[in-house]
Chains A and B, each alone.
Chain A
Amino acid sequence: MKKYLDIIVNGFVKENPTFVLMLGMCPTLATTTSAINGLSMGLATMFVLICSNLVISFLKNLTPDKVHIPVYIAVIATFVTVLQLMLKAYLPEIDASLGLFIPLIVVNCVILGRAESFASKNGPLASIFDGIGIGLGFTFGLTLLGICREFLGSGSVFGVILFPESYGALMFILPPGAFITLGFLVAIVNKIRGV
């Protein structure tokens, strides 16, 4: 059990995809205009990551080496389709606000990166825990970024108004604000980690 806990901690802290590995920057920067968007994008990615890690760890001995990337992409795309149809059916608002970035999870390099570096070398159970750890780390990063940007940009957190919107700096909702906020968060995380 200790081994699986270590895998989760590793994904969340030591190999945090947002702040340490710096993978999956496209959804990280583009969808975190508010805390709820960041959280839902993180959870959506986590769902795909866990499922694809599991299936790929089963397929690892059956896939010929030459076509392993197309096989992974096909597996990931299957789960993204499942996710997108589920979101459309049960959470249409989130589907509308994330828009194109749900199908783009197919090419999210966090998921392909974990398939390559972890799931294709480890057993199914370990792969599930890796998906949970990395997924939680990604969700944490996106939610934190979303909270900061929503607070600075429109004066609210998860839609709870903390100060009037006219005092918010619009820049933080726009793309340049994402880069600035991410830069400062990475700096703070590096300081805490003592890098």
Chain B
Amino acid sequence: MANKLVVSLSPHAHGTDSVERNMYGVILALLPALIVSFCYFGLGSAVVCLTSVAACVFFEWAITRFILKREKTTVLDGSAILTGLLLGFNLPSNLPIWIILIGALVAIGVGKMTFGGLGNNPFNPALVGRAFLLVSFPAQMTSWPLIGQLGTYTDANTGATPLAIMKEAIKSGDASVLDKLPDATTMLLGNYSNGFGAGTIGEICGLALILGGCYLIWKKIITWHIPVSILLTVFVFSGCLHLANPIYANPIAELLSGGLLLGAIFMATDYVTSPMTHKGQLIYGVSIGLLTIVIRNWGAYPEGMSFAILIMNAFTPLINNYCKPKRFGEVPAKTKK
């Protein structure tokens, strides 16, 4: 009975905003990319995404129920479903089920619940899962199936992704390697011709991701600051590199390849792990863009988006600290000499 009376300070304004609304909004925005992935990868995509979502929800439920022993489980707020979907989007479509289960356990168990659940995790859980799998199972995590093999799962034929070609060009120092890259329209739609590995499930179709991003901005679930600052930084930085030395790929190809769009629109904008103020979000976005290109061009891995976001997640509290908004009516303290 006592719980039914809510005592709180004014203003008592009532909004429709809630965790559920935002989480299911993002899941809705991911649907175009999910449908495209079914068309391109068929069975593999369905198995990986379903396993990942089911495992994340199960681990979230099991950990809150049996280890944290909380009465209210947070399974239905959509955050575990979203983590599962994003984790699935970050995996190749021919990944064996047992690896997906380990990824889900690390994402939810290590990435989220050890810190106390939703709202307390310093790192994006789906990316923690992906980074763990990428370091732990490098062979399975970097074999990219060709598109169009709708009925095959783990035995799909594989090929090199555009990012691998870019890496090869830099390693060999031979700009003509880049001629093998598919053109921009192909990369935007994701319908790679034979011989190309398409990448992870979610990152394949840039157009579907941009569509989802527009929906999120239209519904005011995210603001433009983080995605635009990441994409613009990548464009400018990789453009300068391309002009200076043609062994670095052209900026359009950098923007459309790998997990850049997926990361910029859906992963970096995670509420919990990104800065709160717009100024902070711009700093965060620009840093992610710079780090991504640095890792892509000079790092050991061909793709740097996930690591860049994780690194900047770690800096988010610091950015928040330096970008505190001025209180209304506050007089700035005099600077001491």
Contact = CB atoms under 8 A, between A and B. Distances in A.
B135 A174 contact: yes
A59 interface: no
Contacts of A187: 114
B110 A176 contact: no
A193 B91 CA distance: 40
B162 to A, nearest CB: 26
Contacts of A167: 98
Residue from the set B98, B102, B136, B138 with the largest chain A CB neighbour count within 10 Å: B136
Interface string A154-195: 000000000000010111101010001001000100000000
B141 to A, nearest CB: 11
B252 to A, nearest CB: 34
B224 interface: no
Interface in B131-148: 132, 135-138
Contacts of A171: 132, 135-136
Interface of B is mostly: helix
B102 A169 contact: yes
Contacts of A183: 114
Contact of A176 (B114, B135, B138): B135
Contacts of A180: 110
* Size class of the contact patch on chain B: under 10
Contacts of A174: 135
A12 to B, nearest CB: 27
A169 B110 contact: no
Nearest to A174: B135
B136 A170 contact: yes
A68 to B, nearest CB: 39
Interface of A is mostly: helix
Contact of A170 (B98, B110, B114, B137): B137
Contacts of B132: 169, 171
Residue from the set A171, A174, A176, A183 with the largest chain B CB neighbour count within 10 Å: A171
Interface in B103-135: 110, 114, 132, 135
Interface string B311-333: 00000000000000000000000
Interface in A13-37: none
Contacts of B136: 169-172
Contacts of A176: 135
Nearest to B135: A171
10 nearest A-B pairs in the assembled complex, by CB-CB distance? A169-B136, A171-B136, A171-B135, A170-B136, A171-B132, A170-B135, A180-B110, A174-B135, A169-B102, A170-B137
Given A171-B135, A180-B110, 16 more contacts: A167-B98, A169-B102, A169-B132, A169-B136, A169-B137, A170-B135, A170-B136, A170-B137, A170-B138, A171-B132, A171-B136, A172-B136, A174-B135, A176-B135, A183-B114, A187-B114
18 contacts: A167-B98, A169-B102, A169-B132, A169-B136, A169-B137, A170-B135, A170-B136, A170-B137, A170-B138, A171-B132, A171-B135, A171-B136, A172-B136, A174-B135, A176-B135, A180-B110, A183-B114, A187-B114
